[in-house]
Each structure stands twice: as structure tokens, then as C-alpha cells.
Amino acid sequence: MPSFSQLSHTAQLDLLDALTRSALSTHYGLDGTAVRMDVQQYKDNAVWRVTPPGGTSFVARLSIRDGRPAPQQRSEMRWLESLATARTVAVPEPLAAADDHYVVPVDVPGHDEPSTLALLQWLPGTAEPPYREPSVAQAMGSATAHLHEHAASVPLLEFDRSVWDAETILHNGHALTDPVVRTQLGAGGADTLRKVAELINPDLHEGGAEDRGRIHGDLHRENMIAMPDGGIGIIDFDDCGTRHYLLDIATMLSSIHRVARKQPGAYEEFARAFLTRYAQVRPLPADFGRLLEPYLLLRDVVVLNFVTGAVLVNDAVANSWGPGRITGIVANMQTYLEGHSCPGARASEHA
């Protein structure tokens, strides 16, 4: 029998589908044979929208590789539970299994990594809210601020998650530590990244306790949901952790800049509305205007860490957008070293 890694992408997904259906029956009291399962993504996690006949939908997330250990996933679920209870920002609420655990083990034949399943309520709405609408940009700023306000004001004991700081992302990140990546970054790319890391490192160590706390870790536009009631929800907390709130803000601004940069004034309008509304809920982090640019660059390194690793194991990334994204980020960093502003940095003018 071939190992799991030797199966085709389709065969892997078919196997995981069957295992998830069985786990839903065993642990959550759902009839796994009767539910409809619609694939949302299959990368490090396999994610489905699960809909029982005549019932409301759920999200089933099966972590099979590079996933967080079960204790870290339980920390994620505790934060989601606390956020759902507070009701200041809409998030997918986790569901406990029959044994009251939020994360259950799943045995994947031929797979040498532990696999775990979590089930959450489906958050209704549409991904990638229409950011050009001022009210939507404001709602996105409000949701982000409420997320950070909850982190700052509601303690969670034993929150066991990654610390997304300069050491984790820059100095110990895949892009700077893996010799194979030097080839992917192109001539001089690794040196460019190292020089940028040296320049921004002091800035990334600034800030007090009020500027740090639990963060989403991957708060780009596709992880926000336009809700039917006009509000904004936040999904996909798989990368949540702790550190400076500016990383979440920079992640959102960077993701909007990528789609808005060719439309004159669109990014600036979004940034103005987003940041104004954020500041109405809670103050922007200290020295926002000066520190935004280093955190935009740090977000680019987060993307580099992901993409340079993904192109080695994921043909879809390697043969489509991956290499171009690497080239674009390295080029932006080289431009920054030449004295030009990082893309998106002008948002600080609208704070």
C-alpha cells in the first residue's frame, strides 16, 4: 500500500474526506454519510464546509501537515470561544466533541504526522469584502480593533501559540535559514533580505506591553467576511499567536494595496477609512507612522517564508503565482534599500 505522501492530490483528498466523515459521526454526533462536504481548501489543512440535510453549516478543519500541535490548536479554540462569547467581533465558534474536547485525533493511514480535526460554526457571508465602499472599510477597521481590544482586555491562561516576532519570522524563518531558498530568491536576493532584516530589526523590538498581545497572524482581506447584516467577520485563526498588533494591521493594508494599487486613490481611501475607524475603537499602536513600514516589510517576509517552502512541495504554487510573488517581494525590498518607500507605507499619512 502506498504511503499517504505517494497518493495523488485527488486520492489524498478522497481519503481525508472519508476519514472526516467517520470522525464527524464518532465524535460530533453528525451522520457523516449524509452530510454534504464542499472543499474550501487543501494545503496544510484540508477544510470543508459541512452541511447536514436541512441543517446549518459547519467548518471541518483537518490538520495533516505542518499543523499546530493539539495543545496549540486548543488555545486557538479557546480564543475563538472567548471572542464568540464577547460578541464584539463575529468569528466562527468552535464546537466541542462528545468528550468535551475541541480537537480530536484522526488516524491517517500511511501518514507519519499526527492529524487532528476541529469543527466550527460556519460564518455566513462573503469572503473579500468590497473594500472600495467606505462603510465596509470602516467595518474592517472596527473588526480589527475589536479583535485587538479583546486581546488586550480579556486574559486567556496558558495561551500556547507562536510568538510572531523578529526572531521567529526573520532570523529563524525559512527564507533566511534554508540554503535551498538562496536559489529561489535569485542573484543577490538573499543578501537583499538579510540587509533589510538588519535595518528593520531595531524597530521590531520597540513598543510596550500595550502594543503587544494576541494577534490573528494572517489578517488579510480574504480572511474577512462581509456578513449579511452589514458587519464584518474574521475567519481562519490557524496562524494566531502573540506579538505586536501592528503585524495584523500591516497584513491587512498590504493585502489591500496588492489589489488596489492600480486604481488611483483606492488604497489611500481604504487606509483612511480603515485606520480612522480602528482609532475610534482603540488607539493605534505607539509610533504607528514610523513603525508601519518595518511591519509591512515583516509581513513580506512572512509571505516569503510561506511561498519559498510551498513551492518545494506544492505544484500548484510552484507552477502559478509562487515564483512571481517571490520575485516581486525581493524587488520591493531592493527598492526599499535604495531609499524608496515600501509599498503601502503611505497609509501612515492617513492615520
Binned at pLDDT 50, 70 and 90, residue 186 comes out as: confident
Give the amino acid at 39: V
All three cell numbers of 191, joined, read: 543578501
pLDDT (0 to 100) of residue 240: 97
Per-residue burial over 31-49, b = 16 or more CB atoms within 10 Å of its CB, e = otherwise: ebeebebeebebebbbbbe
Binned at pLDDT 50, 70 and 90, residue 113 comes out as: confident
Enter the DSSP assignment of 111.
-
* Digit-coded pLDDT (tens) for 48-58: 999 999 889 99
At 11 the three-state DSSP class reads helix
pLDDT (0 to 100) of residue 309: 84
| CATH 3.90.1200.10 location in the chain | 127-350
Question: In CATH terms, is domain 127-350 a member of 2.60.40.10?
Answer: no
User: Measured at the alpha carbon of residue 42, what is the angle toward residues 3 and 241, in degrees to the nearest 5?
Assistant: 110
Choose between 145 and 178: higher pLDDT.
Answer: 145
Mean pLDDT score across all residues of the chain: 93
* Digit-coded pLDDT (tens) for 242-298: 999 999 999 999 999 999 998 999 999 999 999 999 999 999 999 999 999 999 999
Torsion angle of C-alpha atoms 158, 224, 305, 317, degrees rounded to 10: 130
Binned at pLDDT 50, 70 and 90, residue 70 comes out as: confident
pLDDT (0 to 100) of residue 250: 98
Binned at pLDDT 50, 70 and 90, residue 1 comes out as: low
Binned at pLDDT 50, 70 and 90, residue 66 comes out as: low
What CATH class does 4-122 carry? Answer: alpha beta
Give the whole-angstrom CA distance, residue 17 versus residue 3.
17
**Phi and psi torsions of 328, nearest 5°:** -65, -40
The answer for residues whose C-beta is within 8 angstroms of residue 323's C-beta and 6 or more apart is 184, 311
Give the whole-angstrom CA distance, residue 267 versus residue 256.
7
Residue 119 confidence (pLDDT) above 80:
yes
Give the whole-angstrom CA distance, residue 295 versus residue 224.
20
Alpha helices in the chain (DSSP H): 9-28, 70-86, 134-153, 166, 174-177, 179-185, 189-204, 246-260, 266-281, 288-310, 315-318, 322-337
| CATH 3.30.200.20 location in the chain | 4-122
Total-model pTM? 0.94
Mean pLDDT for the stretch of residues 75-102: 96
Give the whole-angstrom CA distance, residue 102 versus residue 84.
15
Give the whole-angstrom CA distance, residue 216 versus residue 240.
4
pLDDT (0 to 100) of residue 334: 96
Percent of residues, the chain, with pLDDT higher than 70:
99
Residue 5 confidence (pLDDT) above 70:
yes
pLDDT (0 to 100) of residue 2: 83
Mean pLDDT for the stretch of residues 140-148: 98
The answer for residues whose C-beta is within 8 angstroms of residue 172's C-beta and 6 or more apart is none
Alpha helices in 120-165 (DSSP H): 134-153
Percent of residues, the chain, with pLDDT higher than 90:
81
Binned at pLDDT 50, 70 and 90, residue 170 comes out as: very high
